[in-house]
A and B are shown apart, each in its own frame.
Chain A
Amino acid sequence: MTTISSSRRTPQKFIAENGALAGLLLLALVIAIMQPTFLSAQNLVNVGVQAAVIAIMAFGMTFVVVAGGIDLSVGSIAALAAMVGALTAGPVGLVVGALCGLVNGALISYGKLPPFIATLAMLSVARGLTLVISEGQPHETDAVVTFLGSNLAPMVPLPLLLMLLFFGITGLILTRTNLGRRMYAIGGNEEAAKLSGIDVRKQKLWIYALSGLFAAAAGLVLAGRLGSAGPQAAAGYELDAIAAVVIGGASLSGGVGRATGTLVGALVLAVLRNGLNLLQVPPFWQQVVIGAVIALAALLDSLRRR
């Protein structure tokens, strides 16, 4: 075997492989210069808490995107899980979320629906069910769910710890489990995966179930923070989750993506929102800036790959 010398870790290579991280640091630097309070411990913890819900959802989305799919239903599943959690108990919400994901997977694997369509349908169904069981009203969460959104100690918010926990689990699944390795194979070349004996259909069931489960967890954390589950909670969050995954360097054509990238992507979105607020940018303009940053991140990534 010949070895190629460029395998040494150089700073250039590190930046090339972690463009999103470089972007995050640059963004933080600019905001810190313009508004030094950004760097206060309290604010940084806030950013972490703000990132948590999207990050957890985006970790689940990472599995799906790495496997070459997309999941538009995560926002609705989060709301449904939170509502079920508020009306019964938190763990029931998690089960419901995983079941919704399983249905997505079944429609895609066995019904041969494109992921976009199957999860678009679930987006509507899960949101509708949330409205049905809540009768359109918000419901208070119980002590267990509320605890998820609380602080363990001053400056130690549980959502932040949960985000790191899910980050660890995601990294472990992607790199150290058969399911994770199969996600990369399926997303990279589904036919090759099939011809290598991977039961692609069965794997997709699990992949979408995981995404549903993660979305449910994100929904419970969100409800915990607010102390109640709302029928319109997490609406549109699926787009932020997809944006976080893409900013993190994953490819929507599948086969590429990492847990660290998604974490950084979620932090980029949170830092941006937080910074724009601190800089007192009007909320209408904030949307424009966030959209531009997403496009810029994707552009840079596409240039880098050429």
Chain B
Amino acid sequence: MKALITARGITKQFGATRALDGVDLDINAGEVHVLLGENGAGKSTLVKVLAGIHSHDEGTIEGEASLAVIHQELALVPELSVAENLFLNRLPRKFGFVDRAEMRRRAPELLDRVGLNVDPNAKVKDLGIAQQQMIEIARALDKDAGVLILDEPTAVLTDTETDRLLQIMAQLRDNGVGLVFITHHLDEIQRIADRITVLRDGRSVGVLGPRATTQHMIELMVGRPIEEQYPRARQRRGKPLLRISNFTRRGVFRDINIEVHAGEVVGIAGLVGAGRTEVARAAFGVDDYDYGSVEVDGKPLPRNNVQAAIKAGLGLVPEDRKGQGLVLTATVGQNLELATLANRDEKRLHDIAGKLRIKGRVEQPVKELSGGNQQKVVIGKWLLADPKVLILDEPTRGVDVGAKVEIYELINRMTAQGRAVLLVSSDLPEVIGMSDRVVVMAHGRVAGELPKDATQDQVMALAVQEISA
């Protein structure tokens, strides 16, 4: 088999974290090579290194093949036509103007190769997400890419669309293209993979053949011993403080029932796109929902009303710290007081800043702080608001190990004070280690609930299960 790209010993350091640590990867012609791993295992970093978006610190990459990456976020111009998008940046020209006739002539050939039957003159924004993805693939093929990397392309697709994509991938493989496929769905892997490289914590922990069992894949993926990095101090369970009932938003989540009691941490696990963040945001009143209800300490919350939610005693630490959690132009103090402007209390503010051990002055611009300290500021904002229930969405993403444990201690302190915590996290050891119960979501539904001593295999098995719609 012809090797298109051979990567050896790839190492990539981001600040103090080693995102990739001596990873080997072979991409062969006519082969689908699956990259498997938890969120944060290093898959995306590896793809970015291969594509030349990131430079690597150590290791070698050899191979002549040109490479195209289909990212999860599509790189199409919605207002332009299908044909224009296909030839974006290298539009055929005649007398210095775009040669529309030539474009229209060549577009159907390309679309044929991915089996897409759409009008080349249609605007891209009028197409479905799956069709848009096919256009990206067609565009990559026109550049004669020898290697095609697909980064979680099926996360946004329906089952039939996924089937279609897998068919096209198989076709491309038969034509000698080398494919790298990133997905969390183990059943897809079993259908298409020729080889599976499993990444964990930036290392390649195993290369499996096409007949690998799900069990084996999960074991390799999560196989790390849980030590005392999750110092959960469990409390006696009190009265229910948060009750989410029959919560539904069409096409996003359905029939979600979650109850969190005083002194309790309930985790929500699941794959990216399972609808966890959407449930959290809707419960907090940021987004609307179709059916169901949210109660805080027995009091129903009006929909779409963040102010009422806060008043009732709910808080939300959003997943995107910089985009949603912080005002980066402001100081630490200004960020801390953001949720409590109506009754400011200088003394408590300094108190909280001290208790959180935020490394930085209250008057310092918050953007100068490290990720961990920034996250402590966002959490501190809510501690000042004194909530009964705090929803944490990916609270330790991009946070170093030391600050992680400090955040876990904060969670412990909150539940010791009789508050309730809803912990949304993609970090499996974390969500298992810090929760008293784990609710697993898949495809917008609750796939199951596991007790505190659940294993990662159990969680993953629920998270990747296919629920018939």
A1 contacts B326, CB within 8 Å? Answer: no
Contact of B324 among A192, A198, A199, A255 (CB under 8 A): A192
**Looking at the complex, which one of A189, A192, A198, A251 makes contact with B341 (CB distance below 8 Å)?**
A198
Is A7's CB under 8 angstroms from B323's CB? no
B338-A178 in contact (CB<8A) = no
Beta-carbon contact of B325 and A195 below 8 Å: yes
Besides A185-B327, A195-B324, 19 more A-B contacts (Cβ < 8 Å) are A1-B360, A1-B361, A2-B359, A4-B360, A182-B341, A184-B330, A185-B334, A189-B329, A191-B323, A191-B324, A192-B323, A192-B327, A192-B338, A194-B286, A195-B325, A196-B339, A197-B307, A197-B339, A255-B330
Q: Would B324 and A188 count as touching, CB distance under 8 A?
A: no
A1 and B327 contact, Cβ closer than 8 Å, known pairs A178-B342, A182-B341, A198-B341? no
Is B364's beta carbon under 8 Å from chain A? yes
Q: Can you pick out 21 interface pairs between chain A and chain B where the beta carbons lie within 8 Å of each other?
A: A1-B359, A3-B361, A181-B334, A184-B327, A184-B334, A185-B334, A189-B324, A189-B329, A191-B323, A192-B324, A192-B325, A192-B338, A194-B286, A195-B286, A196-B338, A197-B306, A197-B307, A197-B385, A198-B338, A198-B341, A255-B328
Give the residues in chain B near A4, CB-CB below 8 Å. 360-361, 364
Which range contains the number of B residues in contact with the other chain?
A: 20 to 34
A187→B329 contact, CB < 8 A: yes
Nearest 6 CB-CB pairs, A to B? Answer: A255-B329, A188-B327, A188-B329, A196-B338, A197-B310, A196-B339
Q: Is A193 an interface residue (CB 8 A)?
A: yes
Query: Which A residue's beta carbon lies closest to that of B343?
Result: A178
User: Which residue of chain A lies nearest to B353 when distances are taken between CB atoms in the complex?
Assistant: A1
CB <8 Å contact, B330 and A188:
yes
Question: A256 near B: Cβ within 8 Å?
Answer: yes
Does residue B201 face the partner (Cβ distance < 8 Å to A)? no
What CA separation (Å) do A188 and B329 show in the bound complex?
A: 6
In angstroms, Cα B349 to Cα A181, docked, is 15
B316 at the interface (CB under 8 A from A): yes
Closest to A200 in B: B306
Tell me if B84 counts as interface (CB < 8 A to partner A). Answer: no
CB distance from A64 to the nearest CB of B (A): 16
Within the complex, what minimum Cβ distance (angstroms) separates B436 from chain A? 26
For the complex, what is the distance from the CA of A185 to the CA of B381, rounded to whole Å? 13
The residue that B354 contacts in the complex, of A1, A184, A194, with Cβ under 8 A, is A1
Could you tell me which B residues sit within 8 Å of A by CB distance? 284, 286, 306-307, 309-310, 316, 318, 323-330, 334, 337-339, 341-342, 353-354, 357-364, 381, 385
Cα–Cα, bound, A78→B385 (Å): 41
Closest CB in chain A relative to B59 CB, distance in Å: 33
In the complex, number of A-B residue pairs with CB atoms less than 8 Å apart: 79
Query: Given A1-B360, A194-B286, are A185 and B306 also a contact pair (CB < 8 Å)?
Result: no
Residues of A within 8 A of B341 (CB): 178, 181-182, 198
List chain A residues, Cβ under 8 A from B325.
192, 195
A255 to B339, CA, bound (A): 17
User: What separation, in Å, do the CA atoms of A219 and B361 have in the docked complex?
Assistant: 43
In the complex, the chain A residue whose C-beta lies closest to that of B378 is A192
Contact assessment for A185 and B338 in the assembled complex, using a CB-CB cutoff below 8 Å: yes
B450–chain A nearest beta-carbon distance, Å: 29
Cross-chain contact B359 with A189 (CB below 8 angstroms): no
Q: Which residues of A contact B357 (CB under 8 A)?
A: 1
Nearest Cβ distance between residue B165 and chain A, in whole angstroms? 32
Question: Cα distance A188–B354 when bound, in Å?
Answer: 25
> What CA separation (Å) do A184 and B341 show in the bound complex?
12
> Which of chain B's residues have a CB closer than 8 A to the CB of A184?
327, 329-330, 334
Contacts of A194 in B (CB 8 A): 286, 306
Q: In the assembled complex, which residues on chain A have CB atoms less than 8 Å from the CB atom of B361?
A: 1, 3-4, 7
Given that A1-B360, A178-B341, A196-B338 are known contacts, is A189 also in contact with B326, CB under 8 Å in the complex? yes
Cα distance A4–B309 in the bound complex, in angstroms: 38
Write out, one digit per residue, whether chain A residues 244-268 have a CB within 8 A of any chain B CB (1) or not (0): 0000000100111000000000000
Give the distance to chain A from B266, nearest Cβ to Cβ, in Å. Answer: 21
Asked if A185 contacts B339 (CB within 8 A), the reply is: no
CB neighbours of B318 from chain A (8 A): 195
Contact, CB under 8 Å: A255 / B327: yes
Which residues of chain A are near B354, meaning CB under 8 Å? 1
Residues of B within 8 A of A199 (CB): 307
- A240: min CB distance to chain B, Å: 25
Instruction: Report the separation of the CA atoms of residues A178 and B367 in the bound assembly, to the nearest whole angstrom.
Output: 22
Q: In the assembly, what is the distance between CA of A4 and CA of B331, in Å?
A: 14
Contacts of B342 in A (CB 8 A): 178
A161 to chain B, nearest CB (A): 32
B9 to chain A, nearest CB (A): 37
Complex Cα gap A111–B267 (Å): 39
B360 close to A193 (CB less than 8 A): no
Which residues 188-216 in A have Cβ within 8 Å of B in the complex?
188-189, 191-199
Query: Which residue of chain B is the closest to A190 with respect to CB atoms?
Result: B327
User: A256–B329 contact, CB under 8 A?
Assistant: yes
- Is there contact, CB below 8 Å, between A188 and B328? yes
Complex Cα–Cα for A198 and B325 (A)? 13
With a cutoff of 8 Å between Cβ atoms, the chain A residues found around residue B358 in the complex are 1
CB closest chain-B residue, reference A180: B341
Closest to B354 in A: A1
Shortest CB-to-CB span from B389 to chain A, Å, is 14
CB of A163 to closest CB in B, whole Å: 27
CA distance A1 to B336 in the complex (A): 15
Interface-centre pick from A4, A178, A189, A192 (highest chain B CB count, 10 A): A192
Residue of A nearest to B366 (CB): A188
Q: Which interface residue of A7, A189, A193 has the most chain B CB atoms within 10 A?
A: A189
